[in-house]
Structures are given as structure tokens and as C-alpha cells.
Structure 1
Amino acid sequence: MGNKDKVSWVNTLWNRVVIPKSRFVVWLAFHERLKTKQRLKSMGVVDDTVCIICGTQFETTDHLFFMCDFSYQCVEALKRWVRVTWSIKNMNDIYRTRRMPKTKLKLIEAIFGNLVYTIWNVRNEAVWQKKVTTFRRVVESIKTNSKLSNAKRVHFNLVEKPVICGLLCLGDLVAFLILLGWVDLDIDQP
């Protein structure tokens, strides 16, 4: 085995909160292995390299997920939803270590993993069905999928490992519900 540098996003991408189908697509995106128009052109498959979603720029991985007007609107809406202000302009920006509670960071990573997966599906739907959904519909879908899948995963931890994680998982569940706005904590009132 060679002595390889550890990639900064490996632990965050493969955390159990990220939905498996999202993990795979994000992994492909990190490795520039998604069949974007840029890759397809380099393989001699297509001549047209314009992004099918926005119709204005060269379709690369970074453009498709972060620079395309459609993707930018999705990213900004999700940033407002999870209350983060940091800049997200490429894949590494999502998985850069942040100073915030570990639970919130994992949930944000899961949400943005879901975003990459969903935008890839929107792109493929545009290619094959000539139809592009609205960014609002994409954002609502991600919010719903993230709530359901992450709530199930936290609940699974409570049921399967009560002795090991007990209060920690309960705390994760409460933090998750607060993050999603399902629970409000008013600390000032008795």
C-alpha cells in the first residue's frame, strides 16, 4: 500500500448521516467522474458543451453544482435554511472543516450531498426528458428528503444503541429538530 495523503472530505462524505445514493454521486463529482458535457466532449461523445440547465456556460462539475444560476439559487436557499453564511463555490467548500457543533455540521454535509445528487438528477432529466424543474421545487424536495432520512437515521440510533449513545443520540435528535425549525427553545423564559 502506498503512502497517500488523507483527503479532507473523506470522513465527512462517508458519515452515516449522508444518504448512500448521495455519497456515490458526490464521490463521482469530487473525482470529476460524472459524465458532464465537458467529459463527454473529451471522450468524443458530444460536440455541444453548453449547460443544459442554464444554457449559458460550459458544463463542468463546478459549474453544474455551484456556478450555474439554477444551482446558485438552490445553494443560497439551503444556506438560508440551515443558517450558514460561509461561501460555497466548489465541492471542497462544503466539506472544509467548520467551527460548529458536530451534529449540525454532519446534517449540513448531508443536505448538501443531497443537493449534489438532486442537481445531477435535474440535469439528467433535462438531457433525457427536455424538462427542467424549478429551483424552489428542488429545494423543497431536499428539505423534505433531509428531514425524513436524517430523522430516521437518528431514530435508528436511539433504538439500536440505547446503552452506548443514550443521551448523546437524544441530544442529536433535539439539535436536529432545532436546526430544522421543528422545535423552538426559548432560553430566557423559566
Structure 2
Amino acid sequence: MSWEVDSEELTNFSSSKTWNAVRNRGPTRNWTQNIWFKGHVPKHAFTIWIAHQDRLPTRSRLSSWGMNVSPLCCLCAVYEESRDHLLLRCEVSESVWELVLQRLGYNPFGFHTWTAFSDWLSMRDKVTSRTLKRLVAQATISSIWTERNKRLHEGEARTPQGIFRIIDRFIRDTILGKIKRKEFMSLMQQWLRRE
């Protein structure tokens, strides 16, 4: 008995080839590699995936749906809480990004648009590895979103330095947990060299 999948005759059944043949698959987007890279942290990858599609339930989005909520940012309470403002341009977020970028070895700069942020994640450079850059960026986005939710739902607030300490601890733990993977072997040294 033989199996045929996409006009290829197989001697044994292959569930992966069958699944790929029967599922609807959209075109691969160029930004997916920034999210689903080898070694990503699923919780953080999911958050940044939702953010990349601009589907996070920010206050401006909730307000546009007719919900009776203030559209102002939970972190600064000055500007409307959109994805780009909350995660990239808010004074709290900018302070966190400044600490993160300094640790990675970049001169601090601000991301003014999500496109600029996504382009930076894709860019190869000599400052740090893309794996570390992507890992840290995902942890930063997730930590800022978590801080927003803590302030909104629990009334707790951390300083940008406190948020950075959580990111730092998480990055260290993640690298140690994956240290045997080839792409993670030098990451701890890269992360700590500007401590």
C-alpha cells in the first residue's frame, strides 16, 4: 500500500505532509521571521504577533468599539493609548527602550512607527546578534504590555528601571535555559558585556 500527497507517492504515511497538503496556507509575511525565530519564547512571541497585527485591546481600540473607557494611555495618562504610542513612544516605554538599547550596545534612539521597529528587528548589524535583538525586543514588548495591564487592573506601577530589571532577569534565565543551542551559546556574553 502507498500514499500519495501532492502527486508524490510515499511508502509510509506522513501526517506533516498530509497536513501541509490539506490546510489553507496564506502567503508567508516577511515579518514572521522576527516573531517565530528559533528560540523564541511562545508567550512573548504571541504578544508581539498580536501587536504586529495591531490587535491588542488598547484603550483607543476599546473606545472605538463604543466601550465607555478613557482612551488615554495607562502609562502616561497624556496621549491616546494606541499600539505605537503605548509600546514605542510613551515616555515610560521610551525610558525602558533606552535602557534596553544601551544594554544591547546601541545609541539610544526612539522608534516612531511600528514599521521602523519591525525594520530594526530584521536588520543585520555588527552591534549584536539578531537572535538576541529579537529575544530582547519580544521580552520588552511583553513587559510593557504586562506593566500596562498591572496599572490598569491592579493599580500597581513600576519605574522603567524596575521594568528593565524584570526584562534583564528574564533574558538571563532564557539564555541559560537554552545555552546548549548553537545560536544561544554566545548570547549571555553579548547581553552582559555592557552591564
Task: Between 39-48 and 22-31, report the one with greater CA deviation.
Answer: 39-48
* Structure 1: segments with no counterpart, 5+ residues: 158-168, 184-190
> Are 1:38 and 2:60 counterparts?
yes
Aligned-partner residue type, residue 113 of structure 1: Q
CA distance in 2, matches of 1:61, 1:153: 30
Contact 1:51 / 1:57 at 8 angstroms: preserved in 2?
Answer: yes
TM-score by length of structure 1 reads 0.79
Contact 1:66 / 1:72 at 8 angstroms: preserved in 2?
Answer: yes
Match of 1:176 in 2: 187
Q: Which one has the bigger helix percentage?
A: 1
For residues 77-117 of structure 1, give each alpha carbon's deviation from its aligned partner in whole angstroms, at most 9, with x where no partner exists. 10000002465333333432323269711111111101111
CA distance in 1, matches of 2:37, 2:127: 11
CA distance in 2, matches of 1:37, 1:14: 27
> Are 1:107 and 2:132 counterparts?
yes
For residues 120-171 of structure 1, give each alpha carbon's deviation from its aligned partner in whole angstroms, at most 9, with x where no partner exists. 111011111122111101111101101111231232x3xxxxxxxxxxx2x7
CA distance in 2, matches of 1:115, 1:136: 12
> Are 1:133 and 2:158 counterparts?
yes
1:147 to 162, 169, 172: 172
Give the 3 Å change call, closer, same or farther, for CA 177–43 of structure 1 in structure 2. Answer: same
Aligned-partner residue type, residue 95 of structure 1: S
Match of 1:65 in 2: 87
Contact 1:38 / 1:59 at 8 angstroms: preserved in 2?
Answer: yes
Find the residue that maps to 1:34 and give its secondary structure: coil
Report which structure shows greater RCO (CA 8 Å, sep ≥6): 1
Find the residue that maps to 1:154 and give its secondary structure: coil
* Structure 2: segments with no counterpart, 5+ residues: 1-23
Contact 2:59 / 2:81 at 8 angstroms: preserved in 1?
Answer: yes
Contact 2:71 / 2:80 at 8 angstroms: preserved in 1?
Answer: yes
1:54 to 68, 76, 85: 76
2:46 to 15, 24, 28: 24
Aligned residues: 168
Aligned-partner residue type, residue 42 of structure 1: S
Q: Which runs of 4+ in 1 moved over 4 A?
A: none
> Are 1:7 and 2:18 counterparts?
no
- Alpha-carbon RMSD across the aligned residues, in angstroms, is 2.3
Indicate the percent of aligned positions where both proteins have the same amino acid: 19
CA distance in 2, matches of 1:44, 1:93: 30
Match of 2:144 in 1: 119
Aligned-partner residue type, residue 35 of structure 1: P
